Structure 1
Amino acid sequence: MTFAYRGAWLTAVLLMFCGAVRAETIQAVTEDSLHAFMDGDKVSGPATAVVASTLKTAGLDYHLALYPWARAYDMALQQPNVLIYLILRTPQRESLFKWVGEVKRYEPYLYKLKQRQDIQVNNLEDAKRYPIGVVRDDVRHAYFKAQGFSKLFVASQNRDTMKQLFNGQIDLLPLIEGDAMRLSKEAGGDFASLEQVMPLADLTTGLYLAYSNSTDDAIVERTRNAFEQLRSTGEVARLMGSNP
């Protein structure tokens, strides 16, 4: 095989490979949050911008969709070519997904209404006495169940749990500060009326982009390389902006 012929053959193989990868449409799924939300009829938000830029840089076709967390999570568990964001990377989830990259840190607190002086929480055992709002099948739901909490009020979306807090249906709510600010406003309440009770140190970890396990490794690696390129140039931080 001559050098020229070999070069042409390698180019053809690479083009075929890239074409095969590009032909797959990635289903990028998430839930409504501070970092991903509907703007008119489009999925928007800083995390969505990171996903779009990453997949464009990787040369991959994609479709963005926003669902209740349980549905998005189930899609990422069961279907190929699903990219879920932003998802907490925990030991329990480590083998369930193919992890792309960390977008930001996740530091949740338990919140209560400031006026509820009767709620006294110094540790997790104290918190077990009070009704707590969680989103079905998310990491907070799993964590509290594993810790033996029995007074869990399960909702499909974060906004529902915030309404429950303001309505007095629950006493405590686990959220990061940014989501607490946004959700309190959406619920018609005032963030200043909330109080951080205690940090949930066991849940402090990274928020990631992750693929379903059945996604082809070539797609995953291509996405990782694109994400790392954006991260190393500061583009991921820029797109995430100054959101808490």
Structure 2
Amino acid sequence: MTHTLAYRMSLGLLLSGWLLVSGAQAQTIRAVTETTPWTYLRDGRPAGLVTEIVEMTLQRAGFSDYRLAVYPWARAYDMALHEPGVLIFMIARTPAREPLFKWVGEFMALNYHLFRLKGRDEIGVSRLADARAYTVGVLRDDVRHQYLQANGHTRLVVSAESIDNFRKLLNRQVDLVVLTETEAASLCEQLRIDCGRIEKVHTLRDMSTGLYMAYSAATPDAIVERTRLAFDQVKATGALKKLPPGK
């Protein structure tokens, strides 16, 4: 009787594990992101170094049914916040977001800076509170938008795309924008302007964080764990070393 019970329990555990794996493989994963220097559309298809790493991870995890898409940040974030089976990548990991997602792995660390047009010496920021006196361009529902709102900044001008936000700075529609050095260089390149036209005025050290890939909270744990293990394997190949260090 004891042997029979043990056999049935073992069989049940094996069957449960098989169902978890099969279910994880069967579910369509929607991997979403925004336009960044490492994630963008090329000839209408998602491309970029981080996009390639995400695809390598999903393939290594054994997921054959996945879809990659580049959206405005607010749409990608809303999908990951409310729908199961959504993998959002290049998302900053913050204390407020910690319980909202199932975190997989970090691509890179980064620092954010306030930028102004060079020569606008009337815009002085020696501490974050000083920036409340100026209009600041932000990306809708981005971590910078959330951070500045939480710190009492009310003169925020919201854009759907990073490049639109940057254009507002160049056209003097906003006084400041929050960017990483890599983002700033990429936006200058896209618009074919000299990056000497802008300058850093303050570093938001409290915002120093990492950019991750993370699943929506309703995603089955089996999918999350398989992806996490696969990401660690991809990372071990040195693929992430091609990404720039945080600046």
TM-score scaled by length of structure 1: 0.91
| Cα distance in 2 between the residues matched to 1:141 and 1:242 | 23
How much does 1:15 deviate? 5.3
1:235 paired to 2:239: yes
| Cα distance in 2 between the residues matched to 1:192 and 1:130 | 21
CA deviations over 1:186-233 (Å, ceiling 9, x no partner): 234321211111111111111100000000000000000001111233
CA contact (8 A) 1:166 1:189 kept: no
In the TM superposition, 1:65-144 aligns within 5 A as 65-144=69-148
1:145 paired to 2:143: no
- Which residue of structure 1 lines up, in the alignment, with residue 58 of structure 2? 55
1:37 paired to 2:40: yes
| Cα distance in 2 between the residues matched to 1:212 and 1:87 | 12
Q: Could you tell me which runs of 5 or more consecutive residues in structure 2 were left unpaired when the two chains were aligned.
A: none
- Give, as a single letter, the amino acid of the residue that structure 2 aligns with 1:37: Y
- Give, as a single letter, the amino acid of the residue that structure 2 aligns with 1:57: R
Q: After the TM superposition, which of the residue ranges 142-151 and 209-218 deviates more from structure 2?
A: 142-151
| Cα distance in 1 between the residues matched to 2:61 and 2:216 | 17
CA deviations over 1:102-123 (Å, ceiling 9, x no partner): 1100211111111212211111
- Give, as a single letter, the amino acid of the residue that structure 2 aligns with 1:176: T
Identity across aligned pairs (percent)?
45
SS at 1:149 equivalent: coil
- Give, as a single letter, the amino acid of the residue that structure 2 aligns with 1:23: A
Please report the RMSD computed on the Cα atoms of aligned residues, expressed in angstroms: 2.4
CA deviations over 1:46-74 (Å, ceiling 9, x no partner): 11011101101101121000111111000
CA pair 153-42 structure 1, distance change in 2 beyond 3 A = same
- Give, as a single letter, the amino acid of the residue that structure 2 aligns with 1:25: T
1:178 paired to 2:217: no
CA contact (8 A) 1:105 1:206 kept: yes
CA pair 118-102 structure 1, distance change in 2 beyond 3 A = same
Which of 221, 226, 229 is the equivalent residue of 2:230?
226
CA pair 36-243 structure 1, distance change in 2 beyond 3 A = farther
- Which residue of structure 2 lines up, in the alignment, with residue 216 of structure 1? 220
| Cα distance in 1 between the residues matched to 2:92 and 2:23 | 30
How much does 1:75 deviate? 0.2
TM-score scaled by length of structure 2: 0.90
CA deviations over 1:58-100 (Å, ceiling 9, x no partner): 0112100011111100000110000001101000000000000
CA pair 29-92 structure 1, distance change in 2 beyond 3 A = same
Q: Could you tell me which runs of 5 or more consecutive residues in structure 1 were left unpaired when the two chains were aligned.
A: none
| Cα distance in 2 between the residues matched to 1:160 and 1:23 | 39
- Which residue of structure 2 lines up, in the alignment, with residue 28 of structure 1? 31
